[in-house]
Amino acid sequence: MAVLRLVALFPIFFLIFAAALPEVKVQQAKDEPYVGVNIGTDISNFLPPAKLVSFLQQQKVTHIRLYDADPDILKALSKTKIRVIISVPNNQILGIGSSNTTAANWINPNVAAFYPDTLITALAVGDEVLTTVPSLSSMLMPAIESLYSALVASNLHTQIKISTPHASNIILDPFPPSQAYFNETLSPVIVQLLQFLSRTNSPLMMNMYPYYVFMQNKGVVPLDNSLFKPLTPSKEMVDPNTLLHYTNVLDAMIDSAYSSMKNLNVSDVLVLVTETGWPSKGDSKEPYATIDNADTYNSNLIKHVLDRSGTPFHPEVTSSVYIYELFNEDLRSSPVSEANWGLFYANSTPVYLLHVSGSGEFLANDTTNQTFCVAMDGVDGKTLQTALDWACGPGRANCSEIQPGESCYAPNNVKNHASYAFNSYYEKQGRAAGSCDFKGVAIITTTDPSHGLCVFPGSKIISNRTDTVVNSTNATSGVDASRFIGTRPCKDGLWGLIVGVMFYLSIL
Ligand SMILES: *[C@@H]1O[C@H](CO)[C@@H](O)[C@H](O)[C@H]1NC(C)=O
Ligand SMILES: *[C@@H]1O[C@H](CO)[C@@H](O)[C@H](O)[C@H]1NC(C)=O
Ligand SMILES: *[C@@H]1O[C@H](CO)[C@@H](O)[C@H](O)[C@H]1NC(C)=O
Ligand SMILES: *[C@@H]1O[C@H](CO)[C@@H](O)[C@H](O)[C@H]1NC(C)=O
Ligand SMILES: *[C@@H]1O[C@H](CO)[C@@H](O)[C@H](O)[C@H]1NC(C)=O
Ligand SMILES: *[C@@H]1O[C@H](CO)[C@@H](O)[C@H](O)[C@H]1NC(C)=O
Ligand SMILES: *[C@@H]1O[C@H](CO)[C@@H](O)[C@H](O)[C@H]1NC(C)=O
Ligand SMILES: *[C@@H]1O[C@H](CO)[C@@H](O)[C@H](O)[C@H]1NC(C)=O
Ligand SMILES: *[C@@H]1O[C@H](CO)[C@@H](O)[C@H](O)[C@H]1NC(C)=O
Summarize pLDDT for 397-454 with one digit per residue, the tens: 999 999 999 999 999 999 999 999 999 998 888 777 678 889 889 887 767 788 888 9
23, 128, 325, 406: the catalytic one is 128
Residue 400 contacts residue 417 (beta carbons within 8 Å) = no
58 C-alpha vs ligand 4 centroid, how far in Å? 6
Per-residue CA distances from 124 to 90, 111, 113, 117, 278 (Å): 10, 12, 18, 19, 22
Beta strands across the sheet bearing 161-163: 161-163, 119-125, 83-88, 63-66, 35-39, 321-323, 271-276, 204-207, 166-167
pLDDT at 468: 37
Summarize pLDDT for 39-85 with one digit per residue, the tens: 999 999 999 999 999 999 888 899 999 999 999 999 999 999 999 99
Domains and CATH numbers, the chain: 29-66+165-339 (3.20.20.80), 372-506 (no CATH)
pLDDT at 459: 82
Nearest-10 Cα torsion for 213, 214, 220, 225? 110
60 C-alpha vs ligand 4 centroid, how far in Å? 10
- Please indicate whether residue 265, judged by its CB atom, sits closer than 6 Å to ligand 3: yes
Summarize pLDDT for 366-408 with one digit per residue, the tens: 555 567 888 988 889 999 999 999 999 999 999 999 999 999 9
- Concerning whether 275 is annotated as a catalytic residue, the answer is yes
What secondary structure letter does DSSP report for 155?
Answer: T
Q: Considering the chain, what is the average pLDDT of its residues?
A: 84
- Concerning whether 338 is annotated as a catalytic residue, the answer is no
Instruction: Give me the helix-helix angle, 381-392 and 414-428, nearest 10°.
Output: 40
Tell whether the model's pLDDT for residue 24 goes beyond 90.
Answer: no
Tell whether the model's pLDDT for residue 500 goes beyond 70.
Answer: no
Nearest to 303 by CA among 257, 248, 236, 352: 248
pLDDT at 352: 83
Closest residue CA from atom 12 of ligand 6? 398
Residue 252 contacts residue 177 (beta carbons within 8 Å) = yes
User: Containing H/E element for 442?
Assistant: strand 442-445
pLDDT at 25: 52
pLDDT at 376: 85
Question: Who wins on pLDDT, 376 or 195?
Answer: 195
What secondary structure letter does DSSP report for 344?
Answer: B
Summarize pLDDT for 114-129 with one digit per residue, the tens: 999 999 999 999 999 9
Residue 86 pairs with which residues in a beta bridge?
123
Say which residues have a Cβ less than 8 Å from residue 424's Cβ, sequence separation at least 6: 391, 397, 398, 399, 457
